[in-house]
Amino acid sequence: MTAPGLSIWSHPELLSVLAAEDWGGVLRTYRRLSGLSQTRVGELVGLVQPDVSDIERGCRRVTSSEVRQRIVNGLKAPAHVASPDRQPVPGLALPGAGPDEDLLARLTGTADATHKVDSPTLDWLDRLLAEHRSAEDLIGSRPLVALMRRQLRSVIDLYGGARGPLAGRVVRLASEHAQFLAWMAQDQGQTAAALAWYDRSHDWALEAGDADMAATTLSMKAHMAWSGGRGDRAVRLAEAARWSAPDASPGVRGMAAQMAARGHALNGAGSDARRLLDEAQALITRASEHPEDEPAWMYFYGDTWFTLQRGMIAMHLRDRVDAIAHLRTGLAGLADGYRRDRTWYGCCLAHAYAGAGEAAEALAVALPLVPDAATVGRPHSWNELHVTAAALIRAGAKEGRLLVEALRQHDCLSPAEGRMMRTSASG
């Protein structure tokens, strides 16, 4: 169920299915979050229980505007999301006026591929991609994947009509879209798809002469290796990002140095990790002095994010006190719009508290994160909460069982997950 004190409509999964007009998803998700029966929800929206069941199972489509409005009114859905003129995903409205009709036709594929490409088209796509990145920070990757695939298709279709420098811009834009799709696949635990998209992005970046993106894709593959517990591979890929693109921006080179530090920390090489962290910190300082020289996708990279990374490295080096201090400081400075990151680093903080033997603090941090971990934080934050619960149970802390119960109530542990938790507790 939704955490006490929060409106059920603050939940990103519920907002997402409403924005997509997935009425079966709206009813299912609302019931799961509220704990209400199909009969009770039917009473709220003016439908009998069998009709609610049919809509949830996809056996009946909601085509009547009158029924749609009854669902919206009965469940007290936010009008700005349910209104007909809303954006496809909440929060994606662009600043300023949208494209003219001719430009919109090109972006949606109704113009043929030989149509002349111009700078306003590509400028608008740049802005749209930036908005999607920001939205993904808030609502997670799942609602955006299909949209971004279509958008990349539109970019590729523009290549046939691009001439001169504009052709290079189209390839560069395609590389950025592929990198974003790779990140979203990685966020959902789809390793093979993520690697394929990173490789495609890297190839296009080389073709476009974009050293920043070429280095970034290698750094993100290093991040994947780190996520999989492969410290040596993380170091090799991060070092490749550093030496293969010496002309990359300070921020991009700082990210590569920091990724190498994470790999060393995973291997327990504290001196190498701290040396590279200091190098990365110096590069971040340089980047902050000239933010206009940094690529658009580095918008998140600053002192707050780096403080959080120091906390992660301290966790690998089993310095729980330092990890807790850095994670708490970083989370305090992280804007609310970074919902996914706030969830992830909050779960890491709970884990750090559990590792330090501070069970009450671990539970206090973990419980409010359960709803977002189940949606925008799957699978990584969700798994981190399971690891935290297992650590508490192994330590004999009652808080471990309480966290397991919260996870079960919110999203129902599968039998396999239950077995995993029991094995972890006894191991």
- For residue range 223-277, list pLDDT tens digits in order: 999 988 999 999 999 999 999 989 999 999 999 999 999 999 999 999 999 999 9
Of 25, 1, 6, 3, which is closest to residue 14 (Cα–Cα)? 25
Does residue 183 register a pLDDT over 70? yes
> For residue range 356-396, what is the model confidence (pLDDT) as tens digits?
999 999 999 999 999 899 888 888 999 999 999 999 999 99
Is residue 340 within 8 Å of residue 308, measured between CB atoms?
no
* Residues sharing a CB contact under 8 Å with residue 6, sequence separation 6 or more, in sequence order: 371
Mean pLDDT for 114-119 is 69
160-172 pLDDT, tens per residue? 778 888 999 999 9
Structure tokens at 84: 């007909």
Query: Residue 156 has what pLDDT?
Result: 87
Report the distance separating Cα 277 and Cα 213, nearest Å: 21
Residue 111 pLDDT exceeds 50: no
| pLDDT the model gives residue 414 | 44
- CA atoms in the 13 A half-sphere facing the CB of 171: 17
pLDDT of residue 12: 65
pLDDT tens-digit map of 193-202: 999 999 999 9
- What pLDDT score does 115 carry? 52
pLDDT surpassing 90 at residue 182: yes
On the 0-12 / 13-18 / 19+ scale of CB atoms within 10 A, 396 is exposed
Least confident segment among 130-134, 153-157, 397-401, 421-425? 421-425
Using pLDDT thresholds of 50, 70 and 90, give the confidence band for residue 210. very high
Contacts of residue 132, Cβ cutoff 8 Å, sequence gap at least 6: 92, 144, 147, 148, 151, 180
Q: What is the pLDDT of residue 107?
A: 42
pLDDT tens track for 42-65: 989 888 888 898 898 888 888 777
The confidence score (pLDDT) of residue 10 equals 67
- The one-letter code for the residue type at 290 is H
**Closest C-alpha among 329, 333, 367, 332 to residue 347:** 367
More confident of the two residues 109 and 342: 342
Separation CA 307–CA 313 (nearest Å): 10
Least confident stretch, 21-25, 183-187, 207-211, 404-408: 21-25
Side-chain half-sphere of 121: how many Cα atoms within 13 Å? Answer: 28
Mean pLDDT of the chain: 84
Provide the whole-model pTM: 0.70
Query: What's the whole-number mean pLDDT along residues 165-190?
Result: 93
Say whether pLDDT at 419 is over 70: no
pLDDT by residue (tens digit) across 73-109? 899 887 544 443 333 333 333 333 333 444 444 444 4
3-state SS, residue 210? coil
Confidence at 1, pLDDT banded by 50, 70, 90: very low
Q: Are 214 and 206 in contact (CB under 8 A)?
A: yes
Band of the pLDDT at 301, cuts 50, 70, 90?
Answer: confident
Question: 226: helix, coil or strand?
Answer: helix
What pLDDT, on the 0 to 100 scale, is given for residue 243?
93
The residue ranges of every structural domain in the chain are: 8-82, 97-205, 210-332, 335-427
Please confirm whether the linkage preceding 165 is cis (ω < 30° from 0).
Answer: no
- CB distance 140 to 376 below 8 Å: yes
| Calpha distance 234→425 (Å, rounded) | 30
Could you say which architecture CATH assigns to the domain 210-332?
Answer: Alpha Horseshoe (1.25)
Neighbours of 71 (CB within 10 A): 23
Out of 1.20.58.220, 1.10.287.3510, 3.30.70.1400, 1.10.260.40, the CATH code matching 8-82 is: 1.10.260.40
Does residue 146 register a pLDDT over 80?
yes
